Amino acid sequence: MSTPPFQLNPQQLEAVHYLGGPLFVLAGAGSGKTRVITEKIAHLIREVGYAPHNIAAITFTNKAAAEMQERTAAMLGSRQTRGLTVCTFHSLGMRLLREEAQHIGYKKNFSVFDGSDSGKIIAELLGSSGRDAVFRAQHKISLWKNDLLTPEQAFQVASNEWERQTAQLYAGYQETLHSYQAVDFDDLILLPTRLLQNEAGIRIKWQMRLLHLLVDECQDTNTCQYTLMKLLTGAEGRFTAVGDDDQSIYAWRGANMENLRLLQQDYPALKIIKLEQNYRSSARILRVANQVIANNPKLFPKTLWSQYGEGEPVRIIACQNEQHEAEYAAGSIIRRRNQSGGSLNYADFAILYRSNHQARLFEEALRSAHIPYRVSGGQSFFEKAEIKDILAYLRLLANPDDDPAFLRAATTPKRGIGDATLSSLNRYAAATSCSLYAAANTAEALAQLPAAGREALRQFTALMQSYQSRAQSEPAGSLIQELLADIRYETYLLEHEEGKSGEIKWRNVQDLCAWLARKGEQDGKTLIELSQTIALMNLLDSRSKEETDTVTLSTLHASKGLEYPHVILAGCEEGLFPHADSVEEGNLDEERRLMYVGITRAKHSLTLTHCVKRRRQGGWQFPEPSRFIDEMPQADLKILGRKGGEPIVSHEEGKANLRSMLDMLNAKMGQGK
């Protein structure tokens, strides 16, 4: 059961009705926090009389926002929720920035650069395309932005020469972004926050507009997000913040759990309401979770409890090696489904792990067992840099006013259109309120460019105009292949990528082309029509509906907020989980919170696996089981596969599995008669 029954419990009810000042709802895992937020929105509109446009609910993912929007609309009806804001921090920041852009020297239709776009700028400024160097600089700049630091302030706090150089790079990076009339992901929160700090009139305007702010997953806010929340809600603190210090697992991307402590300091009248009743897991699973997390220091002590009965023991499985671990996971899913008599779906199972690299062997084992699966938390096909390069051309064909697409297509592969040319083009576009593509086709704008840049631009726009006219009628498959040949994209990849990376990326591009050709033929769509929808797609969209019943493979970080009847938590070994780097850096508390998140994803059964030996760096290592297993209440565990212990599959289970498989075989033979 994923949501509370219709009747709210006393603590949930108190949280919904409380309007006496700032409120923090300490919401344990599975305690119905989304229900509380949606019920409070409904209460504010129906009972208190707030207009929907005076309320905003902030989440951390688009998925969570969509779910909340859906639930609220089902409760109130779409008419009563018209004007209600339910979105991510970044979406709210974008809305504010678009409305107030002129105050910080931006046009309303500024471009938003993704990680690969901003990575290219940083690579140019560094004079290096080395992936590690670009990533390090990019990550550091992101953390500075999350901490509300300007390039000057970053330089002041820099602790070594690399940080001082990166702070100078940060300054050049921001100047380049502004000349492009572009912002990056972090700017969507940083720029509105600075604007509200510096402009009292704009701050008051937005405070009067948003009379109540509801913030989900407050423990995951960074300094910048927390400051934005404070600025929007004013000194009175007209907010309901919901969070759980035990589920703070994103410090590596700037989340600051200290914000929960600051809440109490910044708002002395803060009301705290604890939600401790869990509506998800069995009592045993909760006891295991509670005892593990009890080893961490507490901001807000709490104990989760459940009315769902004891449940089965948590299984601890010692596997011979990582191959055996993957095969065991696949086999256990088959066994449990067989034993359920058809009541369990594949979607009822999840395999969770600490690091992305662990997924490969599980994928192989599931494929071998003909078990459908999906990988969550990995990179989507349409997020790959080479795919985004080609999609930029398609987006530009469909919409010449798409500035980010223009910038990416015009500079990938390189064709002599450099920063000076683009800066001049940007200035003209900003002054005349036109798109970059329109500026590139304007004699006045071209006259301001150096001869080499002018000629390169002319060739590029002529190429795009040629394909725009042809894309209306010619077959999508052959046309995209011709475009790739014209821009020499294969050569570009093979010359600029290290090792076999270029070949792999080219294969991905060919897969995209095959998909476009197939869809074009099947649906009778032109390249223009396909390009108008493809940006909304991801790899899973291409799967048939029959494949939606799939086992989930996911990193622990990506599993947060989700739940599954049956969970296998893999790789519970020292060095892997807790991760060796985290132990070395003194981040054991966060690793323990990550274990807590993993445990509390499970509803009915939880299995933890570890390997007796594991291959690393060409040799065998013999890791100890995770220290977190020793922290669990031993009475609630069933330990299998260890030397001198019970076998992984008991004699009784073996006989039951055999009976189940024979029954299935007989049933199939009966159907064939």
List, for residues 177-236, the tens digit of each pLDDT value: 988 888 999 999 999 999 999 999 999 999 999 999 999 999 999 999 999 999 999 999
List, for residues 110-124, the tens digit of each pLDDT value: 888 888 788 888 988
Do the beta carbons of residue 210 and residue 52 sit within 8 Å?
no
Which token pair is 271?
């009301």
CA proximity to 36, closest of 50, 56, 17, 58: 17
| Gap between the Cα atoms of 472 and 532, Å rounded | 12
- E strand or H helix at 14: helix 10-17
Q: Which one is catalytic: 216, 327, 590, 636?
A: 216
Q: Which one is catalytic: 39, 117, 186, 217?
A: 217
Please tell me whether residue 133 adopts helix, strand or coil conformation: helix
Instruction: Calculate the CA dihedral of residues 427, 429, 435, 436 and round it to 10 degrees.
Output: -50
Q: Which of 300-309, 368-377, 594-603 has the lowest mean pLDDT?
A: 368-377
Q: Cis (ω within 30 of 0) for the bond into 413?
A: yes
Q: Is 335 exposed, middle or buried (0-12, 13-18, 19+ CB in 10 A)?
A: middle
34 is catalytic: yes
| Gap between the Cα atoms of 277 and 255, Å rounded | 26
Percent of the chain's residues with pLDDT above 70: 91
| Gap between the Cα atoms of 50 and 56, Å rounded | 11
Which token pair is 500?
């076999």
List, for residues 231-276, the tens digit of each pLDDT value: 999 999 999 999 999 888 887 777 788 889 899 999 999 999 999 9
| Gap between the Cα atoms of 84 and 57, Å rounded | 8
Query: What mean pLDDT do residues 510-526 have?
Result: 83
Report the amino acid identity of residue 227.
Answer: T
List, for residues 197-207, the tens digit of each pLDDT value: 999 999 999 99
CA 563 to chain centre: 16
Do the beta carbons of residue 614 and residue 361 sit within 8 Å?
no
**pLDDT the model gives residue 464:** 94
Q: Which of 298-302, 452-456, 663-667 has the lowest mean pLDDT?
A: 663-667
Q: Which one is catalytic: 33, 194, 337, 505?
A: 33
Do the beta carbons of residue 79 and residue 50 sit within 8 Å?
no
Q: Which of 93-97, 168-172, 313-317 has the lowest mean pLDDT?
A: 93-97
Do the beta carbons of residue 403 and residue 111 sit within 8 Å?
yes
419 is catalytic: no
Spell out a b/e string for 347-364, using b for 16 or more CB atoms within 10 Å of the CB, else e: ebbbbbbbebebbebbee
Q: Cα 69–306–336 angle (5° rounding)?
A: 85
| Gap between the Cα atoms of 556 and 570, Å rounded | 10
33 is catalytic: yes
Q: Quick check: 539 pLDDT over 50?
A: no
CA proximity to 562, closest of 606, 594, 600: 600
**pLDDT the model gives residue 120:** 84
List, for residues 443-479, the tens digit of each pLDDT value: 999 998 888 889 999 999 999 999 988 988 898 889 9
β pairing state of 23-27 and 614-616? unpaired
Report the amino acid identity of residue 630.
Answer: D
Q: Quick check: 536 pLDDT over 50?
A: no
Q: Which one is catalytic: 11, 247, 412, 550?
A: 247
Q: Is 590 exposed, middle or buried (0-12, 13-18, 19+ CB in 10 A)?
A: buried
In sequence order, the 6+-apart residues with CB closer than 8 A to the CB of 380 are 538, 539
247 is catalytic: yes
Which token pair is 227?
């400051």
Describe the chain by its helix, strand, coil percentages, rounded to 5: 60, 15, 30
Strand order in the sheet with 373-376: 373-376, 551-555, 349-353, 564-569, 602-611, 314-319, 637-640
SS3 per-residue string spanning 537-591: CCHHHHCCHHHHCCEEEEEHHHHCCCCEEEEEECCCECEECCEHHHHHCCCHHHH
Q: Is 658 exposed, middle or buried (0-12, 13-18, 19+ CB in 10 A)?
A: exposed
**pLDDT the model gives residue 538:** 36
For every residue of 410-448, DSSP letters joined together read: HHSS--S--HHHHHHHHHHHHHHT--HHHHHT-HHHHHT
CA atoms within 13 A on the CB side of 29: 28
**pLDDT the model gives residue 642:** 74
| Gap between the Cα atoms of 120 and 129, Å rounded | 8
Q: Which of 129-133, 175-179, 486-490, 586-590 has the lowest mean pLDDT?
A: 129-133
Q: Which one is catalytic: 35, 454, 601, 627?
A: 601
| Gap between the Cα atoms of 269 and 248, Å rounded | 24
Place of tokens 């299998």: 640
Task: Look up the pTM and report it.
Answer: 0.74
| Gap between the Cα atoms of 278 and 494, Å rounded | 54
- E strand or H helix at 494: helix 489-496
Angle, nearest 10°, between helix axes 489-496 and 476-487? 50
Do the beta carbons of residue 126 and residue 222 sit within 8 Å?
no
Is the four-CA dihedral 454, 455, 458, 464 of positive or negative sign?
Answer: negative
| Gap between the Cα atoms of 200 and 190, Å rounded | 17
Q: Quick check: 655 pLDDT over 70?
A: no
Please provide the average confidence, as pLDDT, over all residues in the chain.
Answer: 88
